[in-house]
Amino acid sequence: MDTRDRPMYMISVAADLVGMHPQTLRIYENKGLVRPQRTPGGTRLYSERDLDRLRAIQYLTTELGLNLAGVEHVLRLQDEVNQMKSRLERMEREMRRAVEEVHKSYKRELVLYRPPTELVPQRKRTN
Amino acid sequence: MDTRDRPMYMISVAADLVGMHPQTLRIYENKGLVRPQRTPGGTRLYSERDLDRLRAIQYLTTELGLNLAGVEHVLRLQDEVNQMKSRLERMEREMRRAVEEVHKSYKRELVLYRPPTELVPQRKRTN
DNA sequence: AGCACGTTCACGTGGCGTGAGGGTCC
DNA sequence: AGGACCCTCACGCCACGTGAACGTGC
């Protein structure tokens, strides 16, 4: 498990760290915006990742003035954007790899059917 | 100009068509959510595309419960998502094209230095 | 035993929709 | 001249944050 996912802080500490009212954190959990772990006794334990999320919510509400319905929607959309970004990057790498692959396949054929050397134009040696 | 961009309806008609209060449409314009054309006299004229946008806002506010700050943010994010989607598609096409390009370049060489036909393995004819 | 946790309820503020009042354009 | 436009102001409702009351876990 990532260390940022380890449940660490009870609600008063977590609220302190992000500068919010503990009751506010409970409201956010009711709305499904954060899902802190619970001890067997029922006490909430917030991970670093939970705190990140809380700070994101804080930015959207206090700086940009969104309500909680908007926060929910925006967080989901941002997930989608990030997912697409990494998909784009993956595809870029894949594209380069595919082109390289084609090159290689033809190099094999060229070796197989090499013409007399005096007819081959100058070309960078690739070992 | 796209016919959906032609300014057509004054505010009372537009409000009727989307089922909103005219005053609400003015508020949305003040917040920069829609930008209807104006006649020289100052009367707002809404295009079909403006109506689309109004219906999108209506969905986000009444169905999902966002406030206007959230609507603004979400519309921008959705633009971003759509942009990335078309970029992904463009890149897919580009990738296929690039691979094809490499194939072609090697085919030119293969024509140039064709080995005796009896040594060429069977391969699909490409005309 | 005491403190911080849990939940539920009440209050205040602010955002947003709706409507009225008064001026202007066609 | 009248009706629909323009703008500004006022009211009401609801969401959200904050706090209090009261019970429970450590």
Residue A117 DSSP one-character state: G
Distance CA A34, CA A28 (A): 6
Q: Is the pLDDT of residue B109 over 50?
A: yes
- Of A26-40, B63-77, B88-102, the least confident: B88-102
CB of B58 within 7 Å of some strand C atom: no
Top pLDDT among B12 and B97 is at B12
Spatial separation of the C-alpha atoms in residues A72 and B122, rounded to whole Å: 59
Chain B residues with CB within 8 Å of chain A CB: 60, 64-67, 69-71, 73-74, 77-78, 80-81, 84-85, 87-88, 91-92, 94-95, 98-99, 102-103, 106, 109-110, 113, 115, 119-120
Residue B114 has pLDDT above 60, yes or no: no
Share of chain A above pLDDT 90, in %: 63
Pick from B74, B92, B119: CB nearest A73: B74
pLDDT at B127 over 70: no
Count of CB atoms situated within 10 Å of the CB of A25: 23
Query: Which DSSP helix (H) or strand (E) runs through B38?
Result: strand B37-38
Q: Which of residues 31-50 of B touch strand C (CB under 7 A)?
A: 39-42
Query: Which has more confidence, B3 or A57?
Result: A57
Q: Are strands A9-10 and A44-46 parallel, antiparallel or unpaired?
A: antiparallel
Q: Is the pLDDT of residue A123 over 60?
A: no
- Give the CA distances from residue B27 to residues A102, B53, B58, in Å, rounded to whole numbers and listed in that order: 58, 14, 13
Gyration radius (Cα) of chain B, Å: 27
Better-predicted residue by pLDDT, A98 or B37: B37
Query: Which nucleotides of chain C does any protein CB come within 7 A of?
Result: 4-9, 15-20, 25-26
Residue pair B9/B45 in contact by the 8 Å Cβ criterion: yes
| A70 CA to C11 C1' distance (Å) | 25
The 10s digit of each residue's pLDDT in A16-69 is 999 999 999 999 999 999 999 999 999 999 999 999 999 999 999 999 999 999
Which nucleotide is nearest to B11 if distance is taken from CA to C1'? D5
pLDDT score recorded for residue A88: 86
From chain B, the residues in CB contact with A109 under 8 A are: 106, 110
Judge if pTM exceeds 0.75.
Answer: yes
Model confidence at B110, pLDDT cuts 50, 70, 90, reads low
- Chain B residues within an 8 Å CB radius of A95: 91, 94-95, 98
Summarised one tens digit per residue, pLDDT across range B32-52 is: 999 999 999 999 999 999 999
Q: What is the mean pLDDT of residues B90-109?
A: 79
